[in-house]
Amino acid sequence: MKSIRRDYLPFGRPDFTDREIDAVTRVMRSGWVGMGPEVIAFEEELSRYIGASQVVTVNSCTSALFLALLISGVKEGDEVICPSLTWCATANAALYLGAKVVFCDIDPQTLCVEQESLMRCLTPRTRAVMVVHFGGRTVDVMALRKLLPERVHIIEDAAHALGATFSNGSKVGSSGNLTCFSFYANKNLSTAEGGAVALNHQEFADQLRSLRQNAMPNDAWKRFNHAHTAFLSVALTDLGYKMNYTDLQACIGRVQLARFDTMQTHRRTLVDQCLSRLGNRFLWQTGIQEPSHARHLLCIQLDRDLKLSRNELLLALRQRNIGASIHYSPLHHMPLYGHLAAVALPNTDAVTSRILTLPISAKMSMDDVNDVCDHVLELIEK
């Protein structure tokens, strides 16, 4: 029997170096840690990397999704379509606005929204469709746009997909749709917490920048550091929120972005090694080896003929200090959303008991990957 790992290997962990630590130290010594010049610089650098004219950072991807729906005009009584196989924030963002969530099915091979199922969910009350680029695999939103009525907005949940590309080579975030990213601890680019909306609409960007900061006309950096704003009174006209990003986070993001392509290359090397050793033992997400895939999650599906169940394999790996996980438990199976499951989701239901996420991060070494593979092979062969 292979020996148990001494240290726990999480399914995803940030790759921080002395450069990130030095950046945080520099900002802390500057005396300005709130939203300021680092946030502005990070937004500009990220917009250039993505190929979007505007990037607006916020305190989480959940906030990004909520604000994207808000400025799209989603309100109480509207319907918002999203997959059930996603993190709860995708659906919750619509519920916060009083909208009704309508769950659509997924393609069992891509784990992304199934176009036919999505189209069947359309009604006259549909206001938006939330497309999840699951695990880092892109959905063809250009093709989807041609099928949807003009009144229906496409919101891209790209929490998994920074660095992913569409079939035409353009990066996720450049489509013109409101595209929401996450910088949570386990993401490919991490600032511990945070999110952003990428878009090509100046008026929407101005609205987002105001809403994230209590709907104020000027952010704190301008109010306290520009002489001409010293005597301006704040006359609020809209209900805003406290959802801003900070310079402490943004300075980490700037370093991470400068290192991002290198980290992505390392992820691909690790995934390729895992596939070379386990490739014929499981069903893999379509496109996981393609350059277009961001490789945020390394999702496998256990074959129905395998005598070991998904839950048994998961628990056995955890007992060996390997942080396998599940992405995700479908939302329509949960009590909070049960009343929303108006249509059958056979593909989602089919993968529910067979899907498993193996550890993957730029912080992992090749020895880590081989260790995971050794344990997996030993367990399924045993």
Residues with a known catalytic role: 187
Asked if residue 112 lies in contact with residue 106, where contact means CB atoms within 8 angstroms, the answer is: yes
**DSSP labels, 50-114:** HT-SEEEEES-HHHHHHHHHHHTT--TT-EEEEESSS-HHHHHHHHTTTPEEEEE-B-TTT-SB-
Coil, helix or strand at residue 179 = strand
Cis-peptide, bond into residue 184, ω within 30° of zero: no
Neighbouring C-beta atoms of residue 149, cutoff 10 Å: 8
In whole angstroms, give the CA distance from residue 323 to residue 173.
30
Determine which helix (DSSP H) or strand (DSSP E) holds 284, and give its type and residue range.
Answer: strand 283-284
111 within 8 A of 285, measured Cβ to Cβ: yes
- β-strands 178-182, 195-199 pairing: antiparallel
